Structure 1
Amino acid sequence: MAGVSGCVKYSMFIFNFLFWLCGISILAVAIWIRVSKDGQEILSSEDSSSKPYIAVNILIAVGATIMILSFLGYCGAIKESRCMLFLFFIGLFLILLLQVAAGILGAAFRSESENILNETLYKNIELLSGTDSNAKAFQKALTEFQEQFKCCGLVNGPSDWGNNFQSHSKSCKCPDTSDSSCIQYEGNYVYKEPCISFIKNLVKTHILITIGIAFGLAFIEILGLIFSMVLFCQIGSK
């Protein structure tokens, strides 16, 4: 092991173990969404669109790629193989570039995504007064959302429910009639604020969490690039 730093070598072991855990977590969640009953309901909630399936398949590919790369980096470090370390470096560098590209695209289309969200929410108002299976599924989801976030209706308030208001008014009811955030509507005391603002805040929170995770992964990946290149050079100078 002359010329090879034990600190760098074991740092590679630790990095690849953490990287492998990230990969297996992504893969496990993606496979669960793809095959479980609850996951199928999530995927089929989109109107006959294949986009959710494509996104899940991409997650499966990313998780599998990360696991393969982490195994390659581990073997390269333990066997002191420059070829494996170089392949690991290239693969990790490409993943980092893809993350940066995705971040740039996400920032560029942020305003567009907000407009799409607004259009989707306004379009879904029709589902609240509908009676078919898709409408009932959406109504059930919004009812649970109303109970949790203390809001009523989607965009305009309780009037969004139309003729279905009475059957779903329980999730809108205010426990305190003196609460200034409540109004009287069709004989019921309900929350006057629609759920659109809560949905937007929830989406923004998830976006911030995603950005934070992406930056965390990028930091780990940069460490992996440094460790692998340092070890690659040390093995070459033996």
Structure 2
Amino acid sequence: MDRSCVKCLKTMVIFLNFLCWLCGAFVVAFGEFQMMHSMFASLITTFWPIYPANTLVVTGTIVTCVCYLGVLGGLKENRCMLISFFILLFILMLVELAMASVFLVYSREIDTYFEKDLMQSLEIYRQSHPEGNKTIKDDFDAVQHLFRCCGVHGEADWKGNVPISCCTEDPCNTLSHTNWQEGCLLKLRNWSARNYLSTGAGVVTMFIIQFICLSITVPLFCHFSRHGLGYK
């Protein structure tokens, strides 16, 4: 392999890893933003580790660290860094594939837990005294107001004790008012599906970049090995 080809591979490794590092940093920032502005985290507790914001932060952090190692390995032409980057990136890609498979296989179970958690949160809200469970109450009120829905399956879930956040009028300052008839379960499922779809699209994009990085790291590492380079 001539020097110009090696230089081209090295440039590609550095550029693609830097691009992947930027994507990872953006994913972390976006996940943190979702965490700070999320109004639904307290209502869905069973599968909180795979909540979109948590998934973004964890995945983005790992990708950022691994790709930074790849950038350093390419810049310093260091075989130790390159082989460490290759192994870590390969493991990361396997984890991403495993997570995608879990989402596909257990999508129905996740929907069941979604409904169960919402019903449990509604019962806590309904049976609490006015000053109790402030977080759940605020989050449920925010969901009903934002998505224009009432209860989990409908207004009947509240069993006559319907909160003011179900009111169709804004502001709702009359004693006799109309409430939203549609439940929040379907709307929250659709919202969650859109979030996971955007998260999945980002993960697929990073997966493609990672695969290209993995492919061009091998010939570069082999060249350094054949010529005894890469440990200085």
Say whether the 8 Å CA contact 1:128–1:164 is kept in structure 2.
no
Corresponding residue for 2:230? Answer: none
Q: Does 1:173 align with 2:171?
A: no
Please state how far the C-alpha of 1:51 moved relative to its aligned partner. Answer: 6.1
Instruction: Tell me, in whole angstroms, the C-alpha distance in 2 between the residues paired with 1:197 and 1:46.
Output: 15
Q: Does 1:212 align with 2:201?
A: yes
Q: What whole-Å deviation, never above 9, does each CA across 1:62-82 have from its counterpart, x for those lacking one?
A: 555434422322222122223
Identify which of 80, 88, 92 aligns with 2:89: 92
Please state how far the C-alpha of 1:92 moved relative to its aligned partner. Answer: 0.6
Corresponding residue for 1:180? Answer: none
Q: What whole-Å deviation, never above 9, does each CA across 1:105-159 have from its counterpart, x for those lacking one?
A: 222211111111122223333134223455443232222222222222222x223
Instruction: Tell me, in whole angstroms, the C-alpha distance in 1 between the residues paired with 2:197 and 2:54.
Output: 23
Please state how far the C-alpha of 1:25 moved relative to its aligned partner. Answer: 4.2
Q: Secondary structure at the match of 1:191?
A: coil
Q: Does 1:187 align with 2:164?
A: no
Please state how far the C-alpha of 1:213 moved relative to its aligned partner. Answer: 1.8
- Per mean C-alpha deviation after superposition, the further-off stretch among 135-144 and 10-19 is 135-144
Partner AA of 1:173 in structure 2:
T
Q: Does 1:21 align with 2:22?
A: yes
Corresponding residue for 2:147? Answer: 149
Q: Note the aligned Cα RMSD (angstroms).
A: 3.7
Q: 1:93 to 1:9 in 2, by over 3 A?
A: same
Q: 1:31 to 1:195 in 2, by over 3 A?
A: closer
Instruction: Tell me, in whole angstroms, the C-alpha distance in 1 between the residues paired with 2:192 and 2:68.
Output: 35
Please state how far the C-alpha of 1:95 moved relative to its aligned partner. Answer: 0.5
Q: 1:60 to 1:137 in 2, by over 3 A?
A: closer
Q: What whole-Å deviation, never above 9, does each CA across 1:152-210 have from its counterpart, x for those lacking one?
A: 2222x223334542x515x52257xxxxxxxxxx8322221121210111122122222
In structure 1, runs of 5+ residues without a counterpart are 176-185
Between Structure 1 and Structure 2, how many residues are aligned?
219
Q: 1:28 to 1:203 in 2, by over 3 A?
A: closer
Say whether the 8 Å CA contact 2:43–2:118 is kept in structure 1.
no
- Per mean C-alpha deviation after superposition, the further-off stretch among 191-200 and 89-98 is 191-200
Instruction: Tell me, in whole angstroms, the C-alpha distance in 2 between the residues paired with 1:194 and 1:48.
Output: 19
Corresponding residue for 1:199? Answer: 188
Q: 1:174 to 1:25 in 2, by over 3 A?
A: same
TM-score, reference length from structure 1: 0.73
- Per mean C-alpha deviation after superposition, the further-off stretch among 146-155 and 90-99 is 146-155
Corresponding residue for 1:75? Answer: 72
Instruction: Tell me, in whole angstroms, the C-alpha distance in 2 between the residues paired with 1:56 and 1:221.
Output: 22
Please state how far the C-alpha of 1:17 moved relative to its aligned partner. Answer: 1.3
- Share of identical aligned residues, percent? 26
Say whether the 8 Å CA contact 1:23–1:64 is kept in structure 2.
yes
Q: What whole-Å deviation, never above 9, does each CA across 1:5-61 have from its counterpart, x for those lacking one?
A: 332221112112122224444555677899xxx58x987x37999965xx9999777
